[in-house]
Amino acid sequence: MKKSCFVIPVHEPKFEFAIPLVLSYNSYYNDGDIFFVFSNEHEKNLFENQLNNKDVKYNSIIFTGNQQHWIVTQKKWFGIDYIFNHYDYDYVGAVDAEVMFLRYLDYNKIFYEKTIDNFIFYTYVNDIFFPFTYIELLKIFKKTDQDKIKKIIFDDKTEKINSTNSDIILDYAEQIFKVDLLNTKNFWFNDIPVYERNTFGHFINYLKIDITNGTINDMQDDVINTHPILPQELMGGHPFNFDHIIYVYYLICMNKCKFKEIPYNDNTMLLKQVPGSFAEKQLYCDPQKFMEAYSFTDSMWMYKKVDDEYMKNTFMEFHTDRNFKSELIRIKNDAWMLEPETIRDTVLDTYFNWLKYYNILDNT
């Protein structure tokens, strides 16, 4: 019996992506093992009417909690909790509506293989922008757990330093959490986030997560999200919307995961200047080097599909809300602002190599 499914939080503005998503799932799978978490009954009915296809298989869950700023995470965890309490699934892949299924693969087998001994995550040393989210989430964990997480994810500064850094984010990371944001191992978004039944239940209890009321460790949302040193606008989005980072932190604390570094050699240091995960930086990488490094991860999704020989486990594309050609044009335009000139030339070379790979004419 199949023991895996997908959960997707959705509201009306995302229907334009959720409808193609569920149709793509039904093109390759005939099991209905895909759950949408709607904000209310009205949205559930509206989605059904817009879909207008009674042959399409999917399941609906209605969120009944108190919506907080991190509603995306709330709805994912609410849906996962509902599934584990009402169905026999052991694994749930939690994704956003902006994804598309590319082909049939036995994801039940892949979920199992990626979690059976220890959860496996692939990392790439990131820039300073995105990892700030990683820092904020440390607030949820007790000191002994923070130390354990820092030793794996960050370049841990064991002694308080006399920082002369004028950058407020870097100074905050160094002085308050004693970590070096320039050497953060970014595992987020390099593969489909998967939750496992037994660890999820303990995860919820361990952090005292009240999904319905939107609290963690008995702290209210606005308390967790505020710090007297750091202005709110520098947070770059609400950190609790990165649901799977919190879960992986928990797995680190429980010794239930391991990390492998993605073997991509970026001599120009370009990727450290581009926010996001390695998987999201596809168009900034040399096509051949990217495909070889990507195949090492056996990832289940990617931004834009490549040759099948490099997509052993890949059956999904993400960021379907982003126009591929527009993204390439943006990268080309951004290249002229990069320094030094060697990086600028590298980006332009990469741009033209991807155009050639996908047989796209340069009309800009």
**Would you call 144 exposed, middle or buried from its count of C-beta atoms within 10 A (0-12, 13-18, 19+)?**
exposed
In a domain, residue 317? The reply is: no
Helix/strand/coil for 323: coil
Residue 238, pLDDT score: 62
CA nearest 182: which of 161, 164, 160, 157?
157
CA distance 358 to 350: 12
**Number of folded domains in the chain?**
1
Q: Are 351 and 344 in contact (CB under 8 A)?
A: no
CA distance 74 to 214: 7
In a domain, residue 353? The reply is: yes
Residue 150, pLDDT score: 85
Residue 139, pLDDT score: 80
In tens, the pLDDT along 280-318 reads 989 988 999 999 999 999 999 999 999 999 999 999 999
Q: With cut-offs at 50, 70 and 90, classify the pLDDT of residue 328.
A: confident
pLDDT over threshold 60, residue 165: no
CA distance 181 to 173: 7
CA distance 102 to 311: 11
Q: With cut-offs at 50, 70 and 90, classify the pLDDT of residue 364.
A: low
In tens, the pLDDT along 49-96 reads 999 988 999 999 999 998 887 899 999 999 999 999 999 999 999 999
- For the chain, give the mean pLDDT: 85
Taking residue 339's Cβ as centre, other Cβ atoms within 10 Å add up to 8
pLDDT over threshold 60, residue 101: yes
Tokens of 203: 């995860």
In tens, the pLDDT along 191-229 reads 999 999 999 999 999 999 999 888 887 765 555 554 444
In a domain, residue 31? The reply is: no
What domain range includes position 353?
A: 323-364
In tens, the pLDDT along 175-185 reads 666 666 667 78
In a domain, residue 360? The reply is: yes
Q: With cut-offs at 50, 70 and 90, classify the pLDDT of residue 5.
A: very high
Residue 346, pLDDT score: 84
CA nearest 189: which of 85, 68, 346, 294?
294
pLDDT over threshold 50, residue 160: no
Cα separation values, 200 from 90, 96, 161, 335, 342, Å: 10, 19, 37, 43, 46
Q: Are 358 and 325 in contact (CB under 8 A)?
A: no
In a domain, residue 350? The reply is: yes
pLDDT over threshold 70, residue 1: no
Residue 158, pLDDT score: 45
In a domain, residue 355? The reply is: yes
In a domain, residue 221? The reply is: no
In tens, the pLDDT along 250-289 reads 999 999 999 999 998 876 667 776 777 899 989 988 999 9
65's CB contacts (< 8 A; 6+ apart) are: 74, 78, 211, 212, 213, 214
Higher pLDDT, 163 or 206: 206
pLDDT over threshold 50, residue 4: yes
In a domain, residue 363? The reply is: yes
